[in-house]
Amino acid sequence: MQKVIFKDLGAVDYKETWDYQQSLLNELVALKRHNRELDEQDPTFKIQKHYLLFCEHKPVYTLGKSGSLDHLLLSEKNLNEKNIDFYKINRGGDITFHGVGQIVGYPIFDLDCFFTDVHKYVRFLEEAVIRTLAEYGLEGIRKEGFTGVWFDQKDGQPFRKICAIGVHLSRWVTMHGFAFNVNTDLKYFNYIVPCGINDADKAVTSLQAELGREVDMEAVKEKLKHHFKTLFGFVFDDLKTNK
């Protein structure tokens, strides 16, 4: 059974965390190369590592490699005035927002140790969030043609996206991940075309907005961790788990 090192990084700068993810990905790829020609009984064989990072970022927009800059509705001056960072990054998907009150999850997994199927991997990220929402009495859904986790239309409300997903893989090692709106200030989504989706019947929401109350972030994190562990079939490396 695979072991995963969990780290809650707290409130951290986006670029700093991006660089950290890349360093971990490089570490995992280097281990794969080292082990390539070795038998597991070889004394120089090294057990592969995996990481699951949770964090929050100060307000930042990130634009995926397939996204359009037209979906950022603020000028550079506006961004500076509102103290919002902006980065073009190497994940899939379009533009999204990260900020306080949002759980951003970065799995750095070697999928060779789990399964080599990108679509299944993305479905598992969605499923972890869907199962977490179910614990709050909410039914998260997948919407055909779109990634992420949504709520269905009801009582005149549009489809509502609560979790965005965008990933990058190198030699089957993952980085980037998901952004789960818990107590997120949704006004920031008014300054972009979220995920490039500009349909009248689709909007962005949060757990707080759906429940009508602020939610304990730590409780949500524990639920997410449990569902990740169950879905991927790993155990947490408790000796290296940091809060």
Please identify every residue annotated as catalytic.
195
Per DSSP, the three-state class of 170 is strand
Q: Report how far residue 63's alpha carbon sits from residue 92's, in angstroms, rounded to the nearest whole number.
A: 9
Closest Cα to residue 104, out of 119, 89, 116? 89
Strands, DSSP E only, in the chain?
3-12, 51-57, 60-63, 85-88, 95-98, 102-108, 149-151, 159-170, 173-181, 202-204, 235-236
Show the tokens assigned to 207. Answer: 């757990």
Per DSSP, the three-state class of 29 is helix
Show the tokens assigned to 176. Answer: 């980037």
Per DSSP, the three-state class of 134 is helix
